[in-house]
Structure 1
Amino acid sequence: MTATRMKFAIDDGSTNVKISWIENGTLKTVVSPNSFRKDWKSAALLRGQAVYNYTIGTTKYTYDATSDKALSTTHIEYQYDDLNLLAVHHALLQTGLTPRDVEVIVTLPITQFYRPDDCQRNDERIEAKRRNLMRDITLNKGELFRIVDVHVMPESLPAALSHLLNSNVNEFTKSLVIDCGGTTLDMGVIVGEFDDVSAIYGNNEIGVAMVTDATRKLLAAADSDSSYLVANELIKRRHDADFVRSVINDESQIEEILRKIEIKIQELGDQVAYEAKKFAKNPNRVYLVGGGAHLIEAALRQAYATLGDRVVTLDNPQSALSREICLYHAETEVEQVASPQMVEVGDDE
């Protein structure tokens, strides 16, 4: 990496963008939530806070962390549209670095990156992702990073690279990687230390959005903020009584809301476990990554009970993929790895 052409590894998921880079020997990671709506926000209302008003073509967008009018990103088309372009540029600004020419390494869900029929690269979709991120975008009263090159990698599988290299696996070991994200469930079977990818599977209808959408409806019924960001934070911090009371206005509904969230989490875990066992009945290891990893962990440990501690939830699973991609493409030595930082709403799990 050079000062003029830094590289950023970006796992640009539908709920959050995870961005990693190397700065003075330290691998840094920021998790930037996606919460954009159309039209611009007035700076006068924000008392000195940064305002992010963007324009793509003739359409104006703004970053609005808690807006219940935030545009949905929980669909596969997000990978190729304005919201993806917004999310990547907004995440770059959250690094705190001075805007400059940069190269980015971004991701596509497995079923978009590979053709399901023959496990070969889907060059058409990969190129569509590249072209989308090379489009023009402007920031009102501000400067953006200039993306001069885009590389695309598959989601989930590279996240387990370091673990595989340090786990004494042999050429017969089959590792199942399960990535439960906001919109998609991606799975792949890796042979050995990454000698081969023997099978892939993706489902665009299973993801944390199942829990998020239900939580938004519950919050709205309790006269509370029902934005995607608040709903996801409530799911993550549902055991924090003070936080729960701070976001649910009708306190008489708290117990019922938490009960229904737990039911939805169980349903998500059961669906993922069912799909996993159907896809890979007897893997030697299972690695859980993605923002939903902690939500599905209990169900997967039960589904693969004979594996015991070989069912592994990676450290900071939400941002594991961007960190591993950054390490894989590193051109300078990494001396330490900093804890991931979540923009505005707390640290990564």
Structure 2
Amino acid sequence: MTVSAFKIAVDDGSTNVKVSWIENNQLKTIVSPNSFRKDWKSAALRRDKRVYNYTIGTTKYTYDATSDKALETTHVDYQYDDLNLLAVHHALLQTGLKPCPVTLVVTLPITEFYNSEDCQRNEAKIAKKRENLMREISLNKGELFDVVEVEVMPESLPAVMSTLINSNCNEFTRSLVVDCGGTTLDMGIVVGEFDDVSAIYGNNEIGVCMVTDAARKALAAADSDSSYLVANELIKRRDDLDFVKDVVNDESKIEIILEKIETKIDELGSAVAYEAKKFSKNPNRVYLVGGGAPLVYPAIKAAYETLGDRVVLIKDSQSALARELCLYNTEEDEVHIERETLIEVEDE
């Protein structure tokens, strides 16, 4: 007897994994941060806290939100390694769904999904990604989802599908989609209401990791070694002085740390704007998606100043791709979008 698999969309980025699924005709979304280290963690003293200890092959890993020994995920090879497998399974467990057979719709950066020479699908890398997520993994004292099939989609462009279809643009409108993620910058030109994709471009050396690395170094200099997760949270909550003081041990260095973060954000914005103008000098519209979109939005808006409000920061830009992939692959006739559910940053 064939068991039908539940379909879940997963934008498995290097910094966070975004998961969308449809439950009781409602679209639901969570964002699960990546922060894993080797070896297992001891059982939690509090009964309401769960420990996630995993094994892949002979290697033990654990989820540890605050450890400065957290393994680096900000590199393209992450798409095919143990950390990617860990991040996806860990994110699935955060959905609250009961573990079951699942079909995953996952993503690859544009530079990995397409061949640079002819812009055709890179079947070898797509297969490599699929095979990686079909590998064996176990959870100590727990049950994992059974991945029975993996479908691979390109990043960025599908994130604006609903926006374009409802935008009343004509068949000649050229929309530039800019996806600034943790590790990569992906861009594409979409014609009309997603009638055609005329060009794609990717750079795997530009991403929010530029800011994250600077934040971690600045924290270390202030006797505040941190995980990538904590550094990213500091970047997001840099205007919350109470949070900043909790994270930084040497409070005399707070001003310097914040200045370094702002400088790197400016550098990231300038780099993304330069690449965007080089790729598409005069699009009719610009849409920003990805976790880094809010950081680079001011720079992109300035770069395309004549477009005014046609430079659009997509709502909930970090999880937009997962939501759109879920809607694109659903067979439901009518779906209601529930407000995004965010996984809080805490040490389980």
Q: Residue by residue, what CA displacement relative to the aligned partner does 1:111-151 show, whole Å, maximum 9, x if unpaired?
A: 11111221111111111111110111100110000000000
**SS of 1:43's equivalent?**
coil
| 1:225 positional shift | 4.0
Would the aligned equivalents of 1:4 and 1:100 in 2 still touch at CA under 8 Å? no
Would the aligned equivalents of 1:22 and 1:334 in 2 still touch at CA under 8 Å? no
In structure 2, the residue matched to 1:139 is 139
| 1:339 positional shift | 2.1
Q: State the distance in 1 between where 2:46 and 2:256 align.
A: 34
Q: State the distance in 1 between where 2:333 and 2:236 align.
A: 34
Q: State the distance in 2 between where 1:116 and 1:321 align.
A: 22
In structure 1, the residue matched to 2:77 is 77
In structure 2, the residue matched to 1:250 is 250
In structure 2, the residue matched to 1:318 is 318
Deviates more, 1:13-22 or 1:42-51: 42-51
1:29 partner letter = T
Q: State the distance in 1 between where 2:247 and 2:287 align.
A: 33
**SS of 2:291's equivalent?**
coil
Once the two structures are superposed, the pairs formed by residues 79-118 of structure 1 within 5 Å of their partners are: 79-118=79-118
| 1:344 positional shift | 2.2
Would the aligned equivalents of 1:9 and 1:20 in 2 still touch at CA under 8 Å? yes
In structure 2, the residue matched to 1:265 is 265
In structure 1, the residue matched to 2:162 is 162
| 1:254 positional shift | 1.0
Q: State the distance in 2 between where 1:230 and 1:152 align.
A: 30
* Alpha-carbon distance change, 221 to 334 in structure 1, aligned in 2, over 3 angstroms: farther
| 1:79 positional shift | 0.5
In structure 2, the residue matched to 1:241 is 241
Q: State the distance in 2 between where 1:286 and 1:237 align.
A: 26
Would the aligned equivalents of 1:27 and 1:334 in 2 still touch at CA under 8 Å? no
In structure 2, the residue matched to 1:180 is 180
**SS of 1:127's equivalent?**
helix
1:184 partner letter = T
1:65 partner letter = A
2:39 partner letter = D
Once the two structures are superposed, the pairs formed by residues 1-349 of structure 1 within 5 Å of their partners are: 4-45=4-45, 48-345=48-345
| 1:195 positional shift | 1.7
* Alpha-carbon distance change, 18 to 140 in structure 1, aligned in 2, over 3 angstroms: same
**SS of 1:276's equivalent?**
helix
Q: State the distance in 2 between where 1:48 and 1:335 align.
A: 33
Give the TM-score of the pair, scaled to structure 1: 0.96
Q: State the distance in 2 between where 1:339 and 1:66 align.
A: 27
Would the aligned equivalents of 2:109 and 2:184 in 1 still touch at CA under 8 Å? yes
Q: State the distance in 2 between where 1:205 and 1:265 align.
A: 15
**SS of 2:272's equivalent?**
helix
Q: State the distance in 2 between where 1:65 and 1:342 align.
A: 15
2:269 partner letter = G
Q: State the distance in 1 between where 2:125 and 2:95 align.
A: 28
Would the aligned equivalents of 2:44 and 2:51 in 1 still touch at CA under 8 Å? no
2:322 partner letter = S
**SS of 1:71's equivalent?**
coil
Q: State the distance in 1 between where 2:46 and 2:186 align.
A: 39
| 1:190 positional shift | 0.8
Would the aligned equivalents of 2:175 and 2:191 in 1 still touch at CA under 8 Å? yes
Q: Residue by residue, what CA displacement relative to the aligned partner does 1:243-262 show, whole Å, maximum 9, x if unpaired?
A: 11111111111111111111
Q: State the distance in 1 between where 2:238 and 2:337 align.
A: 28
After superposing on structure 2, the runs of 4+ consecutive aligned residues of structure 1 that deviate more than 6 Å are: none
| 1:46 positional shift | 5.5
| 1:47 positional shift | 5.3
1:50 partner letter = R
Please, which runs of 5 or more residues in structure 2 have no aligned partner? none
Would the aligned equivalents of 1:285 and 1:307 in 2 still touch at CA under 8 Å? yes
Q: CA-atom RMSD, angstroms?
A: 1.5
Would the aligned equivalents of 2:44 and 2:50 in 1 still touch at CA under 8 Å? no
Give the TM-score of the pair, scaled to structure 2: 0.96
Would the aligned equivalents of 1:105 and 1:152 in 2 still touch at CA under 8 Å? yes
Would the aligned equivalents of 1:217 and 1:226 in 2 still touch at CA under 8 Å? no
**SS of 2:193's equivalent?**
coil
Q: State the distance in 1 between where 2:142 and 2:32 align.
A: 19
> Across the two proteins, how many residue pairs are aligned to each other?
345
**SS of 2:270's equivalent?**
helix
